[in-house]
Amino acid sequence: MARMRAVDAAVLVLAREGVSCAFGVPGAAINPLYSALRAHGGIRHILARHVEGASHMADGYTRAKAGNIGVCIGTSGPAGTDMITGLYTAQADSLPILCITGQAPRAKLHKEDFQAVDIESIAKPVTKWAVTAREPALVPQVFQQAFHLMRSGRPGPVLVDLPVDVQLGEIEFDIDAYEPLPVYKPAATRKQIEKAIAMLQAAERPLIVAGGGIINADACEELVRFAEITGVPVIPTLMGWGAIPDDHPLMAGMVGLQTSHRYGNATFLQSDFVLGIGNRWANRHTGSIEKYTAGRKFVHVDIEPTQIGRVFGPDLGIVSDARAALALFVQVAEEMKAAGTLKDRSDWAEACLHRKRTMLRKTHFDHVPLKPQRVFEELLAEAGRDTCYVTTIGNSQIMAAQLLKVYEPRNWINCGQAGPLGWTLPAALGVRAADPDRKIVAISGDYDFQFLIEELAVGAQHKLPFLQVVVNNSYLGLIRQAQRGLQMDFEVSLAFENINAADDPDAVPGYGVDHVAVAEGLGCKAIRVKSPNEFQDAFARAEALMTQHQVPVVLEFILERQTNIAMGTEIDAVNEFEEIVCLDPSLTKENGWTPAKEPAPAK
């Protein structure tokens, strides 16, 4: 046993639990913890420019590699409230991040002390656990419990609030006697799996819907193996994209109202049975439940008991960690294949693959200003199979999901439910901090980019290079498109005449913020692309600049002001505003063909 401050014990516990990197902003009420980080070493700290940015960096760090838990640190008062969006995002997507906040002394908690706020109560709705440690001797056990909760069951975030006098209190603690608590994960039984496979066997046109829980459980190999044994096509959700490679013959496309493939929706509409694993039936995936469930039976496997039946009641629900369930699915299916009792799915799989080859969207446009479809066509050609994409919300995210390809788990890093603007850039910094070698492309619209643009300076200071693509139409594009239903275009334009544009021959008149100038002012490099003729050179220059300077490089594409992106209100009613490619004249509306319902917007 050794006598030490509670914060020294906390830092020792963090290291023993596997923490090697933290993101944050110091302040008076959390300085004791920073003094412990400095004294003990071993945990890298990356100084953010905004505490919300730090929480998104921790989020990206967690998503980058299996087993990671990102940590963000802030002082009392507004630092904690700034992190609420990050906590909500992590909770919504079942991600463990640990937020640590400083707090006023215990005696001042209810006396309106400077920057004293009840962050425990504020954070409870968006965390698995939020706690103010009120005794120094409790601090090691509070952190031990935090890691246990973050890893057990459905993963999620925790906030630990540390009054400054608790941080400084001396305790007896022996790190050599410390052990992390065992992680609890429910596991399916063989009887449950056999019932699910019996239902699958009875179906003619089954599908597997693969959710983000499969990636969280590091169970992608088991998923692909099960699909290959049974011959059942896989529909990944937005959070599960990459669980099966996009070019795998059993990858049948994504389904949904926005982030979907035409062939994915068409295939789903032909199905009669769905096995959902590690997914939550998100509304952008399903559309109306009546349309989504009609004519189909469902099995739902999820680690969280209250998730089963939350959106609709499945025909069979199984509470299980995705990896544990898939291991049994593989075992039972292999035994049935050896016995010759598995149904042949080759005709159904080939029909799904045919749709995948023929129901495509047009991407090759030579317009100036640029059409976004062409930007994503060129990005896909440049990126390569090992590229990791990071993006949040808006038309930029929707079109990226419609047109890019993902071949590995954790190479599509996207906040699926909360969708906070500004998330992309700091999350990409967190991914880079977790993985110094991966090729990272962050994708933002101009408004997402502007939300936390100051975090570019973090990439410059800490040498965290990645390619930041900005598709700039100087509009809140998704909201503008949504406002069409209300016959308005109100307060969604970001355009203005920048008074400095006259001094820059490369500036774009009327597009407002000069992202190139801002990025360079924050210590990064930036390139503006206006014409399809510039794509190849721009990508090569960006790669060279990242290699030379080891800083983020912004690649801004100047888009036409208005482009309506394919989306709709039901999975069988997606509006294809632009030209689409159909290589099979036998396709009709009844079997998945969705013709354009409105003309393209005027140029």
What pTM value is reported for the model? 0.92
Residue 574 lies in a domain: no
Judge if 543 and 458 occupy the same domain.
yes
**Which residues touch 21 (CB under 8 Å, ≥6 apart)?**
43, 44, 45, 46, 61, 70, 71, 433, 434
Range of the domain at 24: 2-177
Domain count, the chain: 3
Judge if 347 and 413 occupy the same domain.
no
Residue 579 lies in a domain: no
Residue 134 lies in a domain: yes
Judge if 201 and 63 occupy the same domain.
no
Residue 239 pLDDT > 60: yes
What confidence score (pLDDT) does residue 408 get?
Answer: 94
Smallest CA-to-CA distance from 96 within 36, 12, 156 is with 156
Residue 544 pLDDT > 90: yes
**CATH for 275:** 3.40.50.1220
**pLDDT tens sequence across 516-537:** 999 999 999 999 999 999 999 9
Q: Are 103 and 116 in contact (CB under 8 A)?
A: yes
Residue 581 pLDDT > 60: no
Percentage, residues of the chain above pLDDT 90: 78
Average pLDDT (311-332) is 97
Residue 602 lies in a domain: no
Judge if 389 and 338 occupy the same domain.
no
What confidence score (pLDDT) does residue 87 get?
Answer: 97
Judge if 391 and 463 occupy the same domain.
yes
**CATH for 150:** 3.40.50.970
What confidence score (pLDDT) does residue 102 get?
Answer: 96
Judge if 159 and 61 occupy the same domain.
yes
Phi/psi of residue 171, nearest 5 degrees: -140, 165
What confidence score (pLDDT) does residue 601 get?
Answer: 34
Active site positions, annotated: 25, 51, 421, 476, 479
Phi-psi region of 463 (alpha: psi -120 to 50; beta: other; left: phi over 0): left
Confidence of residue 595 (pLDDT cuts 50, 70, 90): very low
Confidence of residue 580 (pLDDT cuts 50, 70, 90): low
Residue 603 lies in a domain: no
Q: Which of 300-304, 362-366, 401-405, 431-435 has the lowest mean pLDDT?
A: 362-366
Report DSSP state, residue 454.
G
Confidence of residue 482 (pLDDT cuts 50, 70, 90): confident
What confidence score (pLDDT) does residue 114 get?
Answer: 73
Rounded Cα distance, 456 and 521, in Å: 10
SS (HEC) of 387-420: CEEEECCCHHHHHHHHHCCCCCCCCEEECCCCCC
What confidence score (pLDDT) does residue 579 get?
Answer: 58
What confidence score (pLDDT) does residue 596 get?
Answer: 41
**pLDDT tens sequence across 56-104:** 999 999 999 999 999 999 999 999 999 999 999 999 999 999 999 999 8
In the listed set 359, 377, 407, which residue is the last one of a domain according to the structure?
Answer: 359
What confidence score (pLDDT) does residue 602 get?
Answer: 31
Judged on CB neighbours under 10 Å (0-12, 13-18, 19+), 381 is exposed
Residue 523 lies in a domain: yes
Judge if 141 and 227 occupy the same domain.
no
Residue 220 lies in a domain: yes
Judge if 316 and 389 occupy the same domain.
no
Residue 541 lies in a domain: yes
Report DSSP state, residue 50.
S
Judge if 239 and 129 occupy the same domain.
no
What confidence score (pLDDT) does residue 9 get?
Answer: 97
Judge if 313 and 406 occupy the same domain.
no
Average pLDDT (260-268) is 94
Rounded Cα distance, 66 and 356, in Å: 30
Round the average pLDDT of the chain to a whole number and report it. Answer: 91
Judge if 270 and 308 occupy the same domain.
yes
In the listed set 342, 359, 376, which residue is the last one of a domain according to the structure?
Answer: 359
In the listed set 558, 577, 594, which residue is the last one of a domain according to the structure?
Answer: 558
Judge if 349 and 368 occupy the same domain.
no
What confidence score (pLDDT) does residue 416 get?
Answer: 83
Average pLDDT (104-110) is 83
